[in-house]
């Protein structure tokens, strides 16, 4: 636990985060109109929204790195029921101008066997997609590990990938151990465990390191991955509820109180203590306002952290708001 559950939570107001632009060989030099970013040399492939190095943009902790705030105020950020004081989720926007490597992420157990703190289960929420856009997820039936190794050597592994068409609003779940690759044609909101651990199986001849042995060790041919059907609930749409994260679309008709933002009892789940959540404006803009803090503007494609100990607030739709709520789940010890 982060701290003793009977201790009072010191208040911590909502705050917006500045995006961190991360170069990738497969990325784009121009992220407009999504972000006002023109890369002069190395292309930008990922926009990190909640990385430990992301800077806090509003409020009393403005200018501080998010990872530092987790070290200073884990109880206020995460709540008393969190089993760890570390930042649980890494949220990105992916801009692929070229194909990403064919890759696999380890699960927690495999990652820890290599001295890493955690594995990487993730999901992709499709923000935009061109007609015919696809991602690669999983391998065709009947492949054995020796055959996979042979196809890597021969440079033919791509032909054994399952291809999945994607459209705006789709949610694709990628469990640790699933072979996958993001292809050009879509812009994805990626929600994952707070890990950047990737093992490359195949990289189209790029001069980057492959991790074939570790990839095959991490690979799980029966990983539960694919599109998740959206589940309409009384006051929101559930996109995915995994052992590590929950993602929802929240309608905001004019305004909505923070008292009804958390998971409703109508889901059939037991009541939980307040915890961290993030609000992402997939489109449109919003304002987060409350009597105890200065209003926080939430422009399109930006994200705000809602700490467990946030004072009461109201979120106001400033026009065209499509609001995504992302919150961490805590897997039971046997999953970890």
- Phi/psi region, residue 176 (left: phi>0; alpha: psi -120 to 50; beta: rest), is beta
Q: Read off the pLDDT of residues 57-112 as tens digits, 9 standing for 90 and up.
A: 999 999 999 999 999 999 999 998 888 899 999 999 999 999 999 999 999 999 99
Q: How many CB atoms lie within 10 A of CB 222?
A: 9
Selected catalytic residue, list 200, 236, 256, 325: 200
Mean predicted confidence (pLDDT) in 34-40 = 94
Give the integer Cα–Cα distance in Å for 53 and 232. Answer: 35
If pLDDT is split at 50, 70 and 90, which confidence band does 7 have? low
Give residue 274's pLDDT: 78
Tokens of 185: 């044609």
Tokens of 127: 């923000």
Q: Read off the pLDDT of residues 238-249 as tens digits, 9 standing for 90 and up.
A: 999 999 999 999
- Distances in Å between the alpha carbon of 52 and those of 75, 194, 195, 303? 17, 9, 10, 14
Mean predicted confidence (pLDDT) in 265-292 = 83
Are 24 and 45 within 8 A, CB to CB?
yes
Give the integer Cα–Cα distance in Å for 280 and 321. Answer: 10
pTM of the predicted model over 0.85: yes
Q: What is the DSSP string of 93-109?
A: EEE-SSPPPEEE---HH
Give residue 5's pLDDT: 47
What letter does residue 210 receive in the DSSP assignment?
-
If pLDDT is split at 50, 70 and 90, which confidence band does 262 have? confident
Are 189 and 172 within 8 A, CB to CB?
no
Annotated catalytic residue 200 = yes
Mean predicted confidence (pLDDT) in 158-170 = 97
**Cα angle vertex 313, ends 322, 71, to 5°?**
90
Q: What is the DSSP string of 246-277?
A: EEEEE--SSEEEGGGTSPPGGGSPPP-----E
- The larger pLDDT score, comparing residue 136 to residue 7, is at 136
Give residue 321's pLDDT: 98
Tokens of 72: 């200073």
Domains of the chain: 15-227 (2.60.120.10), 231-328 (2.60.120.10)
Q: What is the mean pLDDT of the chain?
A: 92
Give residue 260's pLDDT: 87
If pLDDT is split at 50, 70 and 90, which confidence band does 336 have? very low
């Amino acid at each position: 636990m982060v701290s003793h559950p009977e201790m009072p939570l010191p208040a911590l107001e909502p705050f917006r985060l500045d995006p961190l632009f991360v170069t990738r060989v497969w990325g784009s030099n121009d992220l407009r109109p999504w972000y006002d970013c023109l890369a002069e040399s190395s292309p930008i492939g990922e926009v990190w929204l909640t990385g430990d190095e992301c800077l806090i943009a509003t409020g009393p902790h403005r200018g501080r790195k998010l990872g530092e705030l987790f070290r200073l105020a884990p109880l206020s950020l995460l709540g008393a029921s969190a089993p760890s004081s570390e930042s649980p989720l890494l949220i990105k926007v992916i801009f692929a101008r070229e194909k990403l490597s064919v890759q696999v992420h380890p699960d927690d157990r495999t990652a820890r066997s290599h001295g890493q703190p955690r594995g990487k289960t993730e999901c992709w929420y499709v923000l935009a997609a061109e007609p015919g856009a696809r991602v690669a997820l999983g391998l065709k039936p009947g492949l054995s590990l020796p055959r996979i190794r042979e196809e890597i050597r021969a440079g033919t592994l791509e032909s054994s990938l399952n291809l999945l068409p994607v459209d705006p609003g789709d949610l694709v779940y990628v469990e640790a151990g699933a072979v996958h690759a993001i292809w050009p044609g879509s812009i994805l909101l990626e929600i994952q465990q707070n890990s950047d651990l990737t093992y490359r199986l195949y990289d189209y001849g790029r001069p980057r390191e492959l991790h074939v042995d570790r990839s095959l060790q991490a690979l799980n041919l029966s990983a539960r991955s694919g599109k998740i059907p959206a589940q309409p609930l009384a006051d929101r749409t559930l996109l995915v509820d995994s052992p590590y994260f929950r993602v929802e679309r929240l309608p905001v008709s004019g305004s909505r109180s923070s008292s009804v933002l958390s998971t409703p009892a109508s889901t059939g789940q037991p009541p939980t203590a307040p915890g961290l959540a993030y609000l992402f404006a997939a489109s449109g803009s919003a304002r987060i306002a409350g009597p105890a803090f200065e209003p926080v503007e939430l422009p399109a494609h930006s994200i705000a952290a809602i700490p467990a100990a946030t004072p009461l607030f109201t979120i106001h739709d400033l026009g065209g708001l499509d609001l995504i709520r992302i919150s961490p789940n805590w897997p039971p010890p046997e999953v970890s």
